[in-house]
Amino acid sequence: MQRDPRGFLLGLFRCAIDAVMPARCVPANLPIRPRGRLVVVGAGKASSAMAKAVEDHWHGPLSGLVITRYGHGVPCRAVEIVEAGHPIPDEAGLAAAKRLLDMVRGLTEDDIVLALISGGGSSLLTLPVPAVSLQDNQTVTRALLVCGAPIFEINCVRKHLSAVKGGRLALAAQPAAILGLIVSDVPGDDPTTVASGPMAPDPTTREQALAILDKFALPVPSAVRSWLESPDSETPKPGNPAFAKVENRIIARARDALAAAARMAEAAGLLVMDLGDRIEGEAREVAGDHARLALQYRSEGKHCVLISGGETTVTVKGRGRGGRNAEYLLALALALNGAEGIWAVACDTDGIDGTETNAGAIIAPDTLERAAAKNVDAAAALANNDAYGVFQALGDLVETGPTRTNVNDFRAILVESTTANTAFH
């Protein structure tokens, strides 16, 4: 029987994605039919597929609008799909967010707002407060994305600059009932952080937002700092009675994807080492930790797969290309230094690693050897944040196109001991 570690790892990734597709997780979470209207709104990379799942299983009239990333839309009958910029917000997102906000105003107690929220919504649902321009918002977003800040801190700032995030969209929808269905892409699955919590009360403060800007010494427009220094920038907080008729429900998360992959690995006779679904930190530092674990398990003769989820970060200092998953894998390959019997895959479950066209990549024991044969200096590429270039040269990019779901990173390291005899088909 022929071994196929690469095929096996890619199969794990496909299994993980299948477990969190909107068509699988939306139908069982639809509300009962209201006396009034059902208005569907949403934002995120999974939002159009979520809207289609609603339409396919809803018996009754509905209307609405959701905003997704360019290339991530799917045709719907009654819900309008608008594609906009991500991760940097653009005019299309701004115009759509204004329309979405108007759509939830003026509803009655008999109406239900069904909010379809997923990762990416922070950039797509873009409506800065009047004191902050779209250009100012773009400047802050760019600075936050390259400074190495975790998503919680990035979204804390975003919420306090927005007219719709941080629970403000829920305020606008009163007195209608609100059901938020959330495909979570954040470690810990906090509804207040996914897409910057448009339907959730915000526990963070404007003082925290200012502290984050100062922590990373970010040069921001004066209008942004002036707004955050004003009490008017504060978001609605937990305990606000406006949220009495709001339910935010996580319907898919990284844990679901990892559990599905674990079942597949166990069925193949592998020992599963679950490293958790909340891993954060610099991608290359996480890779170093994971390399040490993989080498340890290999030395112990274990035939296993290490799986993990979460969201690493990259502090960009170079001029190369590559998302956090590619950076993780290149750092992992360097740390493993050609160790036999270890392969790995790391991909973003939305099909897009950062701003690139690939979901991620895959490494093998001969990755560094093949790179050297092509005169590619892997260490220099990592220093230049150019992991994409390495894996492109090797033909080891994983390209799925938009998956239309998003529970963030999926990583799997296959460790094959020298004494193991399990084979993959």
Q: Check whether residue 46 and residue 12 sit in a common domain.
A: no
Please name which of 127, 83, 86 lies closest in space to residue 104, comparing C-alpha atoms.
127
Q: Are residues 183 and 323 in the same domain?
A: no
> Token pair of 409, please?
């990173």
What integer is the mean pLDDT of 268-284? 96
Please, which pLDDT band fits residue 2 given cuts at 50, 70 and 90? very low
**pLDDT tens digit sequence for 341-381:** 999 999 999 999 988 899 999 999 999 999 999 999 999 99
Which pLDDT does position 148 carry in this prediction? 87
Flag whether pLDDT at 423 surpasses 80: no
**Structural domains counted in the chain:** 2
Residue 254 binned pLDDT confidence (cut-offs 50, 70, 90) = very high
Pair 244, 337 in one domain = no
Residue 420: its pLDDT value, please? 47
Q: Tell me: the pLDDT tens digits for 45-69?
A: 999 999 999 999 999 999 999 999 9
Residue 313 has pLDDT above 60, yes or no: yes
pLDDT at residue 421 tops 50: no
Q: What is the pLDDT of residue 417?
A: 77
List, in sequence order, every beta strand (DSSP E) within 90-163: 112-118
Residues 245 and 284 in one domain: no
Cβ contacts of 337 within 8 Å, gap of 6 or more: 368
- Picking from 184, 218, 252, the residue at the C-terminal end of a domain is 252
Residue 216, domain CATH = 3.40.50.10180
Please give the share of the chain, as a percent, with pLDDT higher than 90.
95
Is residue 324 domain-resident? yes
Residue 418 has pLDDT above 90, yes or no: no
* Residues 376 and 390 grouped into a single domain: yes
> 232 lies in which domain range?
23-252
Instruction: For residue 411, give Cα distances in angstroms to 278, 289, 310.
Output: 12, 13, 9
pLDDT in tens, 163-194: 999 999 999 999 999 999 999 999 999 999 99
**Model pLDDT, residue 405:** 98
Instruction: Report, as an integer, the average pLDDT of 6-28.
Output: 98
> Same structural domain for residues 131 and 191?
yes
Q: What is the CATH number of the domain that holds 302?
A: 3.40.1480.10
What lies within 8 Å, CB to CB, of 302 at 6+ separation is 271, 415, 417
Kindly state the percentage of the chain with pLDDT values over 70: 97
